[in-house]
Every structure is written in structure tokens, then in C-alpha cells.
Amino acid sequence: MKLNLIKPLEMKKLASVFLALVVALSVNGQTDTTKTGNVKVIEKEGKTVVKIGKDNAVTVEESDDTTHIKLGNRGITVIESEDGTKINMDQDEENNQDNGGEKPAGHKKFKGHWAGFQVGLNNYVDQDFSMSRSGEDAYMDLNTGRSWNFNINFMEYSLGLGTDKLGLVTGLGMEWSNYHFDNNNNIVKDDEGVITVLDYPDVSVNKSKLQTTYLTAPLLLEGQIPAGKKRIHISAGVIGGLKLGSNTKVVYRANGNKQKDKTRDDFNLSPLRYGLALRVGYKGLNVYANYYLTPLFETGKGPELYPFAIGLTLLNF
């Protein structure tokens, strides 16, 4: 088995992101600072900032409308506004490869496609594969155009099956999912601990979402088809997830003043989940899709909904 990792320095930085997230999940209160080694998490006035390394080489910053992730000279910014969502990607020319992360066709060792930074949209379906919510589950209806999915896949293992064109791929990654509710509501546990609606009837809601964080691990069978000097790669398999944290956030105006309610809880989300994964790519175009066979909520503790995400790989490690 061949171990394919990011460059040692980048691997150390990305592994630190995992540590930073675990630390961040333990931070409570409106103004708080937690420091563990070279990892500092600051929460103040509606903004969460994670700084990693002596020179803050890795930062994750989230405010009401903007999320920015920076790893060395690479970075991505997602800005949400009333006019829509805008994504800006920064990447230095030294790391900007025009081959989409592909090895030359003559390379004799199999190299899979998992490690990278991905951005997409997520939603969920019911037992009938419908994305529309109605009746007693209408409060779970989402604004798909604002429900973003982010993945940092920081570790990759590749095992060639006797050729450089076919093999197994696994690794580790982090998945952040934002479920933006379409109505003036959010979710809360009732007196029996079951998920139910939390209404905001008399205020103007600007943003209302459920955010989840999972550690992910795939097992993919990947085939690569030569196409000139490049290759088309197709992989499919299973993906598992371990829940690390979750929260809800509601931003609204009451009496002319901007308010924010943020609550950390497990929200009866499935602690372990598994699903199906698909990857297809050629040159700089790489598409991913995940569909989870495990419901979003634990059985009997919330609506029966099955998450999925579709998006693009923007950076290959």
C-alpha cells in the first residue's frame, strides 16, 4: 500500500485544522478565547476565528455573512448577502496546476483522487426521494441555494490493483454542512427530546440554519481512462462519518436591532453515518456527490430525512 499525503508542512497544517475544530466545539459564550499549543479559538461579537501556527499560517474565520478558510497561500471566501452567495478563491501561481492534480499518463504508481478542498450544495430527501417538505415537516424545508457543503480531505491512501489505472482509495476528511431553512423558523428539542419547530413569527429573519460537522472516511474503487496526455478518473464506493459537533444559528432583526441566536447541541443527529460516494473528473473539472443511507436524525427523534451533497473540487492536494 502506498501512502499518498500532502507535503509534510501542509499535512501538519491540515491535521491541525481537525484539532482546531475539536477545540472550537468546546468554546461557549459570547466572548471567549481558548488556546491549546499553537491553536487559538476566539469567539467575540458574533465572530469565530481559529488561528493555527506561530504565524497564523492556517485560519478559519466565520462571521454572520462570511466564511473564510486559509491554508498557507491558498484560501476560499464564501460571502452570503441579500443578492445571493459569492465564492472567491485565492491560490498562488506556484500551486496552481493546469493538469487538475493528474499524474502524467506514464506514471507507474496508482494515485487516487480524494485529498483536496471541495465546495457544493446540500439538502436531504424523504423516503420518497422528495426534497419538498409539507404538512408537519414543512419547517424542515430548505433554501438549497444557500445550503453550502464544504470538505477538506486532508489524508489519502492509494492502493493500486496491479496497474496504475485501477485501485482503491481511502483517507480522512472533514465535512461541514449548512442547512438553511426557507421559512422563519429553526429547530429545537421538545419536552420529550424530539426535534420540533422553533418559530420566529414576529421578526424579520435574515438567516436561519443548522450546521453539522463530521469526520469522514471513504473506501472508493477508482478507474482512470487515458485521454491524450491526461486521464478521466471515475470512482465510486462508500463513505462513513463520525459526528464532531452541531449548532443552530438564527440572525434576525427585532425592533430595528440585529440579533443572533446560536445554540450548540447534538440535535439528535446520527452520531455515525454511512452512504454512497461518487467522484468524476478530467483536467481541472472534478465533481463529487455523496448520498447518506443513514437518516439525518436518530430514528424516532426527528423527521426521517436522508442528506446528500453535490459539488466541485476546487483545490487538489
Average the pLDDT over 98-110 and give the result. Answer: 54
Answer positive or negative: Cα dihedral of 204, 208, 306, 265: negative
Tell me which of 27-31, 80-84, 195-199 is least confident. 27-31
Q: What does the chain come to in residues?
A: 317
Query: Please, are residues 301 and 194 in contact by the beta-carbon 8 Å criterion?
Result: yes
What is residue 284's predicted lDDT score, i.e. its pLDDT? 82
C-alpha cell recorded at residue 55: 504565524
| Contact of 292 with 274, CB cutoff 8 Å | yes
Q: E strands within the chain?
A: 2-4, 32-36, 39-44, 47-52, 58-62, 66-71, 74-81, 84-90, 116-125, 148-160, 166-180, 185-189, 195-199, 204-227, 230-254, 257-264, 272-282, 285-292, 306-316
Q: Which residue has the higher pLDDT, 39 or 279?
A: 279
pLDDT band at 283 (very low <50, low <70, confident <90, very high): confident
- pLDDT, mean over the chain: 81
So what's the pLDDT on residue 267? 97
Tens digits of per-residue pLDDT, 190-200? Answer: 999 999 999 99
User: What pTM, to 2 d.p., does this model score?
Assistant: 0.74
Helix (H, G, I), strand (E, B) or coil at 21: helix
The predicted-structure confidence for 205-262, as pLDDT tens digits, reads as follows 999 999 999 999 999 999 999 998 899 999 999 999 999 999 999 999 888 788 899 9
Intra-chain end-to-end CA distance of the chain, in Å? 19
